[in-house]
Amino acid sequence: MATEKRRYYFTLMELIAALTVTSFIAVIIGSASVTFYRSWQTSVNQTDKLRQFRNIDVVMDTCVRNMIPFNWKDEETNETASDLVFDGLTDELFFTTLRRNYSKEGGALLFVRVRVDDEHRLVAEYSKYPRFPWLEEDDPDMPFTTEVLAEKVERISFLYADKKSDLTVEWLDEDWDREVRPYLPLAIRMTVVWQDGTEESWLRRTAGSGSHSVFRDREEVMNNASNTASGAGHR
């Protein structure tokens, strides 16, 4: 006697219940995925921002803090040039700093420029050879290396500290005039503004700026610069 096979079918209510459970599971998985992605993206952004902060900290601590006055001698007259190898603009900084040198190549001086390039990157350019900020084009025989410190930077700004006649410190929000101040600032403050609207500031004193930043009395430097200029005018 043949056994009759029974066929089982899902009822409409069972299908609705199964679809409802599946939908709930999909919503839970989707919400968990979105939450995980947001947390991961936040972690990546924070890690990247900390990396950029660290890069800027290194430049400010190892370069700006060890900034020194440096004048270049004219090879023809063998006299020290009146221009200090320093260019402090409101949106760009060029200076000479001391560096650790474990070899006989390049010496202990490093010439550094900090600026924002056309790709909205905060970069530091390093050269072992004297690069003069008053030249329009760099000498191709004096190469330099470029390090990207931060990306997606909207702008940077610099403030320069100087000592007033009453021994108080003033902050200048203008270009550092080497003709008026033939010495280095006491301190430099750099503010970085990113494209997302966040900003951060770094403040460092320059080398030897306990009371002066030129390794001798600032009035002596000013008087020497005035005497040099007046002497050149009588020649």
How confident is the model at residue 188, as a pLDDT?
Answer: 95
DSSP-assigned letter for residue 67: B
Taking the CA atoms of the chain, what radius of gyration do you get in angstroms?
31
How confident is the model at residue 233, as a pLDDT?
Answer: 46
Tell me the CA distances in angstroms from 135 to 68, 87, 110, 128, 139, one per residue in order: 20, 11, 18, 17, 9
In this predicted structure, the answer to whether residue 106 has a pLDDT above a threshold of 80 is no
- Quickly state the pLDDT bin for 225 (edges 50, 70, 90): low
- Quickly state the pLDDT bin for 71 (edges 50, 70, 90): confident
- What pairs with residue 155 in β-bridges? 193
The residue written with tokens 């089982």 in the block is: 8
DSSP-assigned letter for residue 61: I
Which amino acid is present at 173? D
How confident is the model at residue 218, as a pLDDT?
Answer: 53
The answer to whether 150 and 63 are in contact (CB under 8 A) is no
How confident is the model at residue 8, as a pLDDT?
Answer: 59
For residue 181, give the nearest of 156, 206, 155 by alpha carbon: 206
Query: 21 or 12, which is more confident?
Result: 21
- State how far the Cα of 68 lies from the Cα of 215, in Å rounded to an integer: 9
Q: Is the pTM of this model over 0.85?
A: no
DSSP-assigned letter for residue 207: T
Three-state DSSP class for 12? helix
